């Protein structure tokens, strides 16, 4: 379990091992890829959380900037350390970076039944602005709808 002082958040950069670790965390967390890491373009921004003691990636947040808004497309944390503040640290750093770039807002979609994620985002200042019907394919989750959540900066 990483403690606050052993967790660092940084841009992914060109670290192939960290990229592979992100892909493994993503594959374990979601039934399909939340982020297409193979299509890395200049618009894709990826933050990684590392456990300094092991120097391994324990979580990531990925998104793109479009029209002055940072859209989060994927956030996942290693199953062994979920609910220990890693996701929250990633969200907070994304907000800090979006503010530094003078973006207007951060937006994301989250399943309406994902109680833990909804609580995290609400606690971090996001609000549900719209229910998106049939956002997820029927075969992915029991509930197909998502909330679009927004945090103005």
pLDDT in tens, 71-83: 999 999 999 999 8
At residue 43 the predicted structure's pLDDT band, cuts being 50, 70 and 90, is confident
Cα(117)–Cα(123) distance, integer angstroms? 10
Is the per-residue pLDDT at 1 higher than 60? Answer: no
- For the residues 136-152, what does the mean pLDDT come to? 86
Residue 70: its pLDDT value, please? 97
This prediction's pTM: 0.90
Are residues 45 and 80 in contact, defined by beta-carbon separation less than 8 angstroms? no
Mean pLDDT computed over 52-74? 92
What is the reported pLDDT for 91? 98
Selected residue with higher pLDDT from 91 and 136:
91
Asked whether the CA dihedral 90, 20, 112, 70 is positive or negative, the reply is positive
Domains and CATH numbers, the chain: 4-108 (3.40.630.30)
The number of helix segments (H) and strand segments (E) in the chain equals 3, 7
CB neighbour list of residue 59: distance below 8 Å, 6 or more residues apart: 25, 48, 49, 75, 76, 77, 78, 81, 86, 87, 90
Which of helix, strand or coil describes residue 147? strand
């Amino acid at each position: 379990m990483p403690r606050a002082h052993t967790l660092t958040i940084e841009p992914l950069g060109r670290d192939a091992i960290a990229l592979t670790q992100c892909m493994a965390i993503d594959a374990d967390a979601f039934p399909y890829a939340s982020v297409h890491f193979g299509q890395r373009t200049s618009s894709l921004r990826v933050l990684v959380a590392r456990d300094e003691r092991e120097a391994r990636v324990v979580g990531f947040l990925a998104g793109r900037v479009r029209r002055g808004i940072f859209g989060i497309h994927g956030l996942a944390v290693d199953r062994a350390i979920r609910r220990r503040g890693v996701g929250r640290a990633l969200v907070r750093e994304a907000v800090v970076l979006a503010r530094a770039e003078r973006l207007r807002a951060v937006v994301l979609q989250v399943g309406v039944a994902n109680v833990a994620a909804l609580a995290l985002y609400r606690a971090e200042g996001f609000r549900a602005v719209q229910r998106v019907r049939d956002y997820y394919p029927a075969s992915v989750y029991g509930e197909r709808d998502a909330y679009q959540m927004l945090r103005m900066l």
